[in-house]
Amino acid sequence: MKIAVFTPYLKPGALGMEIPEISKRFVGSGHEVDLYTGEISPQILKTLRRARVRVHITRLPFNDRLFLTNCFTTGLRFRDKPNVLLAWEFPSNITAALAKWKVAAPFVWFCQEPSKLLYEKESLWYIKTSQPFYVYLTSLVLREILRPLDQWAATSADIILANSKYTAKCVWRAYGRKAKVVHTSVDTRVFKPKTPDPSIRKKYGIPSTARLLYCPGRLYPQKRVDIAIKTLAILSKQHDDLILVVSGVGPEEPKLRRLAEQLGVSAKVKFVGLRTTCEVVDLYNSSAVILFPSINEPWGFVALEAMACGRPVVVFKCGGPAESIIHRKTGLLVKQIGNARAFASAVEYLLGNPEISKEMGRKGIERAKFFSIEKTFLRLSDAIEKVVA
């Protein structure tokens, strides 16, 4: 079977690991895979080519940040005749719909979440209040152009898969279509318990006696990293040995740094930027508790990675993480969504009960196996075979 895979970009990160692994497994099962993207990291490109995945990169000379143009270029130029089209993140669903229009092949959309720009007013509000006016105006125009195309692409899909029950509900609200849940995965060969490299603390100036709280993820408003900083400020009054490590980049970083200064904990918050996968695994394994205060996260790879590394994680009881975390067994679900004091109370409970934390970590390792790449691949393959048949 010939499979055409579409994704707007492939960079280091959760999907940057999962999509290549799934593609490699398709090739290993005897299928031919062509992957179409607008941007890809050299390391991922090398890995895919070594696995005999044919990679097609569409770049336009004026396309520095607006990868949407690649979507239309790829879809309209698409000439191959695959047996199935598989799209991942927006706007690759539009690319696949255009390709289906040209080659009449079945189209499977693995929806990670409906675009926030198109369906959530909060995204426009954030752009309006934090970006230059021309960016806000451009976003309004794109919203009006792309929303009908996104709706058409959703209608064109022969089946929509969702990465969580929460995302499936979002798909229903946005498109009026049911979605089959296929949870995205964590690579338990990479994210696993290990003795962390001691140099990781030295690298960031963290004392060997300090207890780490780790908050990984992009620095965007919906990630609510401000809750993690407020949690540290609350707990530092009673626990002066705590250090918060924040990894990731994004437009919220200046605001978060100012917040840390205002709360008097700037010396205890380490912004370490983007880290390699190996360093991230070391940080997970060096930490006492993983903080994941994101709100309405469609799935949440951080929760899976934390469990796979045997670390308890604290999340709000909303979105995808509420499906992966088992309350009081692999982590804690905080009901008071957006409440920093309630979040801090949950973290303090784990810090004050190290044996309970260790038991949650052990159970988390077993829980993470349920979301292995192999299981995601089998469920995805089953859905594709039914569509092709």
pLDDT at residue 78 in the model: 67
pLDDT at residue 63 in the model: 46
pLDDT at residue 70 in the model: 61
The answer to whether 171 and 111 have CB atoms below 8 angstroms apart is: yes
Structure tokens at 122: 């909060």
Sequence-ordered alpha helix ranges (H) in the chain:
14-28, 42-50, 68-77, 92-103, 116-119, 121-130, 133-156, 165-175, 199-203, 225-235, 253-262, 277-286, 301-308, 321-324, 340-352, 354-369, 373-388
Residue 182, pLDDT > 50, answer yes
Residue 23, pLDDT > 60, answer yes
pLDDT digits (tens, 9 = 90+) for 111-153: 999 999 899 888 888 788 878 888 889 889 888 988 999 999 9
Residue 69, pLDDT > 70, answer no
pLDDT at residue 132 in the model: 86
pLDDT digits (tens, 9 = 90+) for 33-62: 999 888 889 999 999 999 999 998 876 554
197-226 burial string, b = 16+ CB within 10 Å, else e?
beebbeebebeeebbbbbbbbbbbbbbbbb
- Domains of the chain, CATH where assigned: 2-185+372-388 (3.40.50.2000), 199-369 (3.40.50.2000)
Residue 64, pLDDT > 50, answer no
Predicted confidence band at 77 (pLDDT cuts at 50, 70, 90)?
low
Residue 325, pLDDT > 90, answer yes
User: Rounded to the nearest 10 degrees, how much is the dihedral formed by the CA atoms of 118, 122, 127, 129?
Assistant: 160
> 282: closest CA among 308, 307, 309?
309
